[in-house]
Chains A and B, each alone.
Chain A
Amino acid sequence: MEANRQPPINYIERITATYEALGYDQYQWRQTASPPSFAERVKPVSESKIGMIATGGVYNTGQVAFHYRDDASYRAIPSSTETSELRATHFAYDLTGAREDINVVFPIEAMRALDAEGQIGSLAENFLTCMGGIYSQRRVEEELAPQLVERYLEEEVDAVLLVPV
């Protein structure tokens, strides 16, 4: 029997149809018309300080967990944190995998391994986490994103790995 192979899921189409069937208001998907800006790269990854921003609702035990209504805050998680101290909370995705192995939404061990191998120059002192599923684009634009930028400017990070869920 031939394997059932399918093209990538068209999430925008499927979610729009699902919400419509449920009688919800239409969600305004973000569309960017102009090409993205590019920061000037002066050093290769092997000489750069690399950060990570993940949206999967990851927190460090001892931190206040995220809440489930447009939470636009972030948590700073030291890049040396024991993996066993990390937790995940979210309203919109299946947490089964993340709670079994946080590396599937927050690859902290892979980042440390690549740093130890010398493929990454150095790691940011902190990796930053937040919630995806913030319905107000204005709040992401005016509250969350500027705080993340400020934090990584302070930490003098050269480049960032983004891990959405």
Chain B
Amino acid sequence: MGLIAHQLEKAGIATTSISTAKDITKSVRTPRSVFLDFPQGYTTGKVGDQNLTIDIVKAALNLLDATEEEILTTLSYSWGDDDSWKDTVFQIPESGSGATDNRLDRSDLPQYQTDFDLEHAKEKHAGEECLLCLGIDY
């Protein structure tokens, strides 16, 4: 996201971001960021908690008015009563099977959430070019 932020800023469009990976955000140096100490996949909150998401988004947007200096500020929300969820994230177990890769196989084919989506997309793209899918390299 750093490269995208830098190009937007150079083009005159200001950016602010929300990060769950403090070290990566520090390394890429996005201009304005809030850090939320939540697991990957929950960048803007918890399932069903709209007020929390609004507060997180507001905190990020506030940075646009607050500063023109590089900033990475930490939000005070916690994921759970303790941080034991961090014990298994990209950790090599001390005994047993060794490191694992949980990522899914690489594939050049579109990966739909549901079969219905595949049919729906086929139908929509049967005749004309879809103006909402610009830049698709298929």
Contacts and interface: CB of A to CB of B under 8 A. Distances in A.
A79 interface: no
B43 A38 contact: no
Contact of B44 (A17, A69, A103): A103
**Which one of A22, A152, A162 has the greatest number of beta carbons of chain B within 10 Å?**
A162
Interface residues of A, number: 104
Contact of B64 (A45, A59, A78, A104): A45
A67 B11 contact: no
Contact of B41 (A10, A18, A97, A161): A97
Nearest to A8: B22
Nearest to B89: A9
B127 interface: no
A95 to B, nearest CB: 7
Nearest to A164: B1
Interface of B: 1-24, 27-31, 35, 37, 39-48, 50, 53-54, 56-58, 60-62, 64-65, 68-70, 81-84, 86, 89-92, 98-99, 101, 103-114, 116-118, 120-121, 123-125, 130, 132-138
Interface of A: 3-6, 8-15, 17-18, 21-22, 29-32, 35-41, 44-45, 48, 50-51, 53, 55-56, 59-69, 71-78, 87-89, 91-101, 103-107, 109-111, 113-114, 119-120, 126, 132, 137, 140-141, 143-149, 151-153, 157-165
